[in-house]
Amino acid sequence: MPKPKKAHPVTARSTHGVTVFDVAKLAGVAPITVSRVMNQPDQVKESTRLKVLRVIEETGYVRNQIAGSLASNRTRLVAVIVPMLTNPVFSDTFQAIASRLAQADYQVLLGISGYEAAQEQELLEVILSRRPDGIILTGTLHTEISRRRLRATGIPVVETWDMTDDPIDMLVGFSHETIGERAARHLLAQGYREFALIEVDDPRGMRRSDSFIRHLARRGIAPVDRQTFTGLPTLEQGRRGLVKLLPRLAPLAAGASRQPLMIFCTSDTLAHGVLTEAASRGIAIPDQAGVIGFGDMNFAAHTFPALSTVRIDGGHIGRQAAIALLERLKDPTGARPVAMDVGFTLVDRASTRALPPEE
């Protein structure tokens, strides 16, 4: 007598669940046919398909994707690493990615890196062990080990929120350098001639700053007063930044006629702090000083005065990243390189203004 299989002993091994074998037996077909009903329904005759579907319904069978993934070597899982979800620009990106991928029956595995390349590397280790079909990263600043590992796996990767000449694989973002330069051009065109800068020591933001200053220097404006803080940007730092810049504003307070100072902040949060401190000190924005931020966070339009800023469309980045990845997953062989610049928008609100031409 052959030993009975599927005895469902109560151990950690068994899930007591209905399996394809159970469904197959009840439907009078082979397990593989049940599998086909779920994965390639077109290849199954309608009558058989309906029969199987009815049994699935009756038994309450829930497929086991774990087993399926192991056998097929595809997980329908995409891992997304984001620095921080409490920043609305990233949650927009993430939501867009998840929505677009869900439409194509992919699920999203989240990792939060906290802006740390080292933490990202650890996350990647865990993530790779789950064999995602694709990976979407934020930024292009990864450890060399991360880059090597990712390239070695051959898993499609999309880097977002930045541009680089040496992407791991695909790329959807914008150029921090271009933002710095375009902002400088724009503010010069508006008539500003005096500049200061408030930033935190985030490398991406500093690339905007550097580019901003570089362009000003080319136009003969240097040096720029640069207040650099440490860590994630806070309102408090913006306030302190303005306090440090007070000497630059003093001459006007004394009645001397002069151009307003333009304060370039690498984050809306810092800029918001500047506005707050200015209000508390009776410094008139934009008359005594102009302020521009970065991100167009949801409060930017509602500060007083409303904040001029650089808008990044996080949702758009997410959608494009998802689309690029899906394209590749659909046709892994036709791997054209993807490097999409989604650009940005300079948003003029009340915290800056066009100045009358100089005498």
Partner DNA sequence: CTGAAAGCGCTAACAT
Partner DNA sequence: ATGTTAGCGCTTTCAG
Q: Which is nearer to its own copies, 127 or 137 (CB)?
A: 127
Q: Which is nearer to DNA, 49 or 353 (CB)?
A: 49
- Residue 73 as a binder of its own copies (CB under 8 A): the answer is yes
- Residue 43 as a binder of its own copies (CB under 8 A): the answer is no
Among 30, 32, 50, 102, the residue binding its own copies under the rule CB under 8 A is 102
Residues with Cβ within 8 Å of residue 135, at least 6 apart in sequence: 78, 79, 80, 81, 124, 127, 150, 155, 156, 157, 158
Angle at 269 between CA 267 and CA 275, to 5 degrees: 110
- Residue 138 as a binder of its own copies (CB under 8 A): the answer is no
- Residue 86 as a binder of its own copies (CB under 8 A): the answer is yes
**Is residue 225 within 8 Å of residue 196, measured between CB atoms?**
yes
Residues with Cβ within 8 Å of residue 89, at least 6 apart in sequence: 295, 297, 312, 314
Q: Which residues of the shown chain bind DNA in the complex (CB under 7 A)?
A: 3, 5-6, 11-15, 17, 19-21, 28-36, 38-39, 42-45, 47-49, 63-64, 67-68, 70-74
Residues with Cβ within 8 Å of residue 297, at least 6 apart in sequence: 88, 89, 268, 269
DSSP-assigned letters across all residues of 37-59: HHH-GGGS-HHHHHHHHHHHHHH
Query: Residue 305: is the preceding peptide bond cis (ω within 30°)?
Result: yes
**Is residue 308 within 8 Å of residue 349, measured between CB atoms?**
yes
- Residue 237 as a binder of its own copies (CB under 8 A): the answer is no
Q: Which partner, DNA, its own copies, none, binds residue 91 by CB below 5 to 8 Å per kind?
A: its own copies
Residues with Cβ within 8 Å of residue 239, at least 6 apart in sequence: 273, 274, 276, 277
Q: Which partner, DNA, its own copies, none, binds residue 50 by CB below 5 to 8 Å per kind?
A: none
Using alpha carbons, select from 274, 276, 304, 277 the residue that is nearest to residue 292. Answer: 274
Q: Which is nearer to its own copies, 123 or 184 (CB)?
A: 123
* Contacts to its own copies from residues 291-330, by CB under 8 A: 298-299, 302-304
Q: Which partner, DNA, its own copies, none, binds residue 31 by CB below 5 to 8 Å per kind?
A: DNA
CB of 198 to DNA, least distance (A): 49
Residues in touch with its own copies (CB under 8 A): 12-15, 60, 62-67, 69-73, 75, 77, 84-86, 88, 91-92, 94-95, 98-99, 102, 105, 107-112, 123, 125-131, 149, 152-153, 272, 298-299, 302-304
